[in-house]
Amino acid sequence: MTNLLHGQDILSTKQFSRDELDLILETAEQYNRKLESGEKLTPMDNQVLATLFFEPSTRTRLSFETAMHKLGGDVVTIADPKTSSAAKGESMADSIRTVEGYADLIVIRHPEVGSAEEAAEAASLPILNAGDGAGQHPTQALLDIYTVKHEEGKLEDLTVTLVGDLKNGRTVHSLVYLLAQYEGVKLNFVAPEQLSLPRDIVKELGEVGTDVSEYTRMGEPLKETDVVYMTRIQEERFEDRQEYEELKGVYVLDKEKIEAAKEGLTIMHPLPRVNEIPSDVDDYEGAAYFRQAANGVPIRMALLALVSGRVN
Ligand code: NCD
């Protein structure tokens, strides 16, 4: 397969063609097999990845760094923004142009929507968006579809129900554009009215002919759901603390709800969870969220190797 990703920035899931998605999923699968066989990999030998995190992260940063190490590359990191020169008022452009002097690839997470684009404009090397505020989180969405494919054996003809803070959840804003590329996918959105999916996204999904329904309760859609994608209410995006307090416990997927749902339900969550999924659900066989988190490694290996043009 030609490497369609070579030299690209990864900024938004809207950028991907179906051929590019196939390439990423196939490359991740190959790396997954190599990881399982214990093969030592070195395509990123002598390359340095910089991970710049101006917002909290556990899975995204660690799985990017693990991915780079597994490819034989090295990592430098800013995990605490208070220790970087951004805390002294340095501009994004200056920070990026500085880091370019040290690294071959940059992963960035930042609280402002559009920050990854801004970094990409300043940079001459590939930028991978690890979350820009309530905007996009494309690498998460790629590991999410990789997980759906593993759990369900396919990406076509599925009903996927996304639940929670659909207004502020960047993983949802990213994932829906990928799911919409597969035949016969039906999307159900469950959110309180104040936290519904932004209208421009609903409109765009309609324009590409995706079958979309919206609900404020999850009981009814779960009866026809193959994959439920739970999300936390994004506390840090609320201006009004009182509003957060009122909404935080609104959806809880407990054993009773799972019993009443369609048989064989796959449960996903980008994590961290707050109270959306009680821990006694973890031993249910369809509870895929920790497998989903682990899938961050092969997907991010694929992305790092593809954008660098160093797949093997
Ligand atoms: C998500 C994020 O940061 O957007 N976490 C992640 O990357 N796995 C989800 C969240 O914070 O709720």
3-state secondary structure of 202: helix
Contact predicate 130/5, CB 8 Å: no
Does 210 share its domain with 185?
Answer: yes
Identify whether 1 is part of a domain: no
Mutate to test the pocket of ligand 1, among 115, 136, 171 (most ligand atoms within 8 A of CB): 171
Does 153 share its domain with 131?
Answer: no
pLDDT for the residue 87: 84
pLDDT for the residue 204: 98
For the chain, first and last CA: distance in Å? 12
Does 239 share its domain with 224?
Answer: yes
pLDDT for the residue 312: 79
Q: What is the largest CA-CA distance in the chain?
A: 56
3-state secondary structure of 102: coil
Q: Retrieve residue 273's tokens.
A: 């969870």
pLDDT for the residue 151: 98
Of the CA atoms within 13 Å of residue 62, those in its CB half-sphere come to 7
Does 229 share its domain with 105?
Answer: no
Q: Tokens 């899938």 belong to which residue?
A: 295
Does 287 share its domain with 302?
Answer: no
pLDDT for the residue 85: 86
Does 82 share its domain with 229?
Answer: no
173-183 residue pLDDT tens: 999 999 999 99
Q: In terms of Cα–Cα distance, which of 153, 222, 154, 152 is closest to 183? A: 154
Annotated active-site residue in 59, 69, 257, 273: 59
CA distances from 157 to 21, 37, 202 (A): 17, 32, 20
60 is catalytic: yes
Within 6 Å (CB) of ligand 1, which residues are found? 59-60, 131, 137, 140, 170-171, 231-232, 234, 270-271
Does 145 share its domain with 285?
Answer: yes
pLDDT for the residue 86: 85
Q: Tokens 């990123």 belong to which residue?
A: 44
Does 106 share its domain with 221?
Answer: no
Identify whether 7 is part of a domain: no
Does 144 share its domain with 277?
Answer: yes
Q: Retrieve residue 124's tokens.
A: 């001459």
Q: Retrieve residue 110's tokens.
A: 């930042």
Does 70 share its domain with 182?
Answer: no
Whether this prediction's pTM lies above 0.75 is answered by yes
Edge-to-edge strand ranges of the sheet holding 127-132: 74-78, 48-53, 105-110, 127-132
| Low-confidence spans in the chain with pLDDT less than 50 | none
Does 185 share its domain with 272?
Answer: yes
Does 151 share its domain with 109?
Answer: no
Q: In terms of Cα–Cα distance, which of 169, 257, 184, 181 is closest to 220? A: 257
Identify whether 3 is part of a domain: no
CA separation for the pair 229, 287 (Å, rounded): 11
CA distances from 187 to 156, 161, 200, 259 (A): 12, 6, 16, 21
Range of 89's domain? 13-136+296-308
pLDDT for the residue 255: 98
Domain count, the chain: 2
pLDDT for the residue 88: 87
- CATH at residue 234: 3.40.50.1370
Q: Retrieve residue 73's tokens.
A: 């590359």
Mutate to test the pocket of ligand 1, among 271, 273, 275, 292 (most ligand atoms within 8 A of CB): 271
Cα torsion 40, 300, 64, 226: sign: negative
CA separation for the pair 96, 116 (Å, rounded): 11
Identify whether 147 is part of a domain: yes
17-33 residue pLDDT tens: 999 999 999 999 999 99
